[in-house]
Amino acid sequence: MNNSGASMRHHKKPIISPLRYPGGKASLYTRLRAIVRANDLTAGTYVEPYAGGAGAALGLLVTGQVRRIVINDLDPAIYAFWKAVTSEPLAISRMVEKAELTVSEWSRQKDIYLNAPRDDYLNLGFATFFLNRTNRSGVLNGGPIGGMDQTGKYKIDARFNRSTLVERLRLISLHAKRISVTNTDGMTVIKRYSKRENTLIYADPPYFEKAGSLYLNSFEDAHHSSLAACLNSVSDAKWLLTYDNVPRVPELYPDRRREVFSLNYSAHRVTKANEIMVFSDALTVA
């Protein structure tokens, strides 16, 4: 594999997701790999109920750390993208190769993103991907990099390296049979997979304070509480959770082990953010 493709340069943290995700968790790869090994889950299934860019999941899968992954996201546009990548990889790759990187194409893709039937996975999935790669910070409701008049320092094509992206799509397609893609509420996925053996669930729900306009739907406090009730009720399953480090987290998970950590967070600039991990009782923390 060539270095300009799915980047393995920092081979501790393979970059495989084609999506840009503010706060993406691909950088937790090394930590998650240690947890997978310590819990003897290398022949098991790794589940992301709030997958977004699914960077960590894909890294673990293609480097052979786990046998299967589940990518779930409630956002129909994100779901359509993953569905298209795993079921129609050649078609979506061809669209990536041919895409015109212009503001008028951006407007056309924005219209498809807003109006395409939600089950037109290929067109909706491609429009989602196109906007994710051409919008400022990858935020789907943001404007194009460089502005509508393209007078900014960086232009609309700044994050659209076709060969790198096509290579990532190809790599994912090679593993597609071992990827399940679903579009349901994260708690439904947690309930379903917490009953299974050989399974690790990593929940990365919308954060308390950072979510805002970054994602389609930010959680209300009621969602955070019901997620906590759901996860706390299955503490005999193997799961971990990450959040922004706010006082509400220890309040919601008073009986669980917790650990504060830092991640390079880049929504608009690179900063060190204080985040927190919560672990189920059954998990061996490594």
Measured from the CB atom, is 21 or 106 closer to ligand SAM? Answer: 21
Residue 109 C-beta: closest distance to ligand SAM, Å: 19
Measured from the CB atom, is 139 or 166 closer to ligand SAM? Answer: 139
- Name the site residues for ligand SAM (rule: CB under 6 A): 21, 23-25, 49-50, 52-53, 55-56, 72-75, 78, 185-186, 204-206, 215-217
Measured from the CB atom, is 54 or 122 closer to ligand SAM? Answer: 54
Residue 18 C-beta: closest distance to ligand SAM, Å: 11
Measured from the CB atom, is 215 or 279 closer to ligand SAM? Answer: 215
Residue 20 C-beta: closest distance to ligand SAM, Å: 9
Residues facing residue 203 across a β-bridge:
241
Residue 211 C-beta: closest distance to ligand SAM, Å: 7
Residue 25 C-beta: closest distance to ligand SAM, Å: 4
Residues facing residue 259 across a β-bridge:
277
For the chain, the C-alpha Rg in angstroms (whole number) is 18
Measured from the CB atom, is 18 or 146 closer to ligand SAM? Answer: 18
Specify the DSSP element, H or E, that contains 33. helix 29-38
Residue 81 C-beta: closest distance to ligand SAM, Å: 11
Measured from the CB atom, is 20 or 155 closer to ligand SAM? Answer: 20
Amino acid, single-letter form, for residue 45: T
- Long-range contacts of residues 24-29, Cβ cutoff 8 Å, at least 24 apart: 24/52, 24/53, 24/55, 25/55, 25/56, 25/202, 25/204, 25/242, 25/263, 26/53, 26/55, 26/56, 26/58, 26/59, 27/55, 27/263, 27/264, 28/56, 28/242, 28/263, 29/55, 29/56, 29/59, 29/60
Place of tokens 């090994």: 37
